[in-house]
Amino acid sequence: MKVAAKKDLPVCEIRRFLEPGPIVLVSSAYKGKTNIMTMGWHTVMDFEPSRIGCYIWDQNHSFGLIKASKQCAINIPTFDLIKQAIAIGNCSGASIDKFDRFGLTPVPAERIAPPLIKECYANFECRLIEFLARYSFFVFEVVKAHTATAPKYPRTFHYRGDGVFMVSGRNVSFRSLFKSHNL
Ligand SMILES: Cc1cc2nc3c(=O)[nH]c(=O)nc-3n(C[C@H](O)[C@H](O)[C@H](O)COP(=O)(O)O)c2cc1C
């Protein structure tokens, strides 16, 4: 493929190319208080056991709840929830109940205390297994996962920076080109 001429890019902007995993909603709880935050900076680290690494800013109210309880749920919203996801990421749970404010329904989880978000397509129950204070980086193990049975490919949304999102769309299968252990 022919690539257009290149220019220097400030390294602080490279995230826009790597970021587009789906935006997720992280629900947490500690001492009877629950919260939700919006998160884009997460990465799959393994699948058996299933581990996810996440950057959670230490100024977020969720940071303290998750660090103290060592648990959270990662919930996958679909495009119909995009406005709520932005608003949830623009306010602090220190002063409001975000489930109540954004009309989301808390559902008891099976293996962790924080509630799952009913309106989300999938919910992953996570336990904290490692915390790197220097980078505010949390490593979770997913101990239980719930997902809607349809559609097969949910319409997730992915942040590109500057207020712009990519919405998941067309799927293309190249299955026959893969080594089976890489599928
Ligand atoms: C699209 C989007 C993505 C975000 N991604 C992250 C993230 O990966 N890590 C993070 O710490 N905050 C992220 N935020 C910011 C938090 O959601 C925001 O600081 C929120 O107010 C935290 O809520 P809390 O203080 O109730 O925990 C994101 C916000 C938006 C809108």
Query: Would you tell me how many other CB atoms lie within 10 Å of the CB of residue 138?
Result: 23
pLDDT for the residue numbered 1:
82
Q: Is 152 exposed, middle or buried (0-12, 13-18, 19+ CB in 10 A)?
A: exposed
- Using omega within 30 degrees of 0 as the cis cutoff, is the peptide bond preceding 77 cis? no
C-alpha pair distances (Å), 42 with each of 7, 15, 138, 158:
28, 12, 9, 12
**pLDDT above 80 (res 20):** no
For residue 98, the ligand 1 atom closest to its alpha carbon is 26
Q: What is the side-by-side order of every strand in the sheet holding 71-76?
A: 33-39, 24-30, 71-76, 122-132, 137-147, 50-55, 42-47
- Across 1-5, 74-78, 149-153, the highest mean pLDDT is recorded for 74-78
pLDDT for the residue numbered 11:
87
Mean pLDDT, residues 139-148 taken together: 95
Is there a contact between 115 and 34 (Cβ–Cβ < 8 Å)? yes
Mean pLDDT, residues 100-122 taken together: 97
Task: Out of 25, 26, 27, 39, give the residue to mutate to test ligand 1, the one with the largest number of ligand atoms within 8 Å of its CB.
Answer: 39
* Segments in 9-165 forming alpha helices (H): 15-18, 61-69, 82-88, 98-101
Mean pLDDT, residues 30-57 taken together: 96
Largest CA distance in the chain: 57
Please spell the DSSP secondary structure of 48-61, one letter per residue: TTEEEEEE--TTSH
pLDDT for the residue numbered 55:
98
**pLDDT above 80 (res 19):** no
**Ligand 1 atom 29 nearest Cα:** 89
Residue 3 region, left (φ>0) first, then alpha (ψ -120 to 50), else beta?
beta
pLDDT for the residue numbered 149:
93
Per-residue model confidence as pLDDT tens digits over 65-79 = 999 999 999 999 999
**Ligand 1 atom 10 nearest Cα:** 56
Q: Tell whether ligand 1 has an atom less than 6 A from the beta carbon of residue 56.
A: yes
**Bridging pattern class, strands 157-159 and 42-47:** unpaired
Ligand 1 center from residue 148 Cα (angstroms): 25
**Ligand 1 atom 13 nearest Cα:** 39
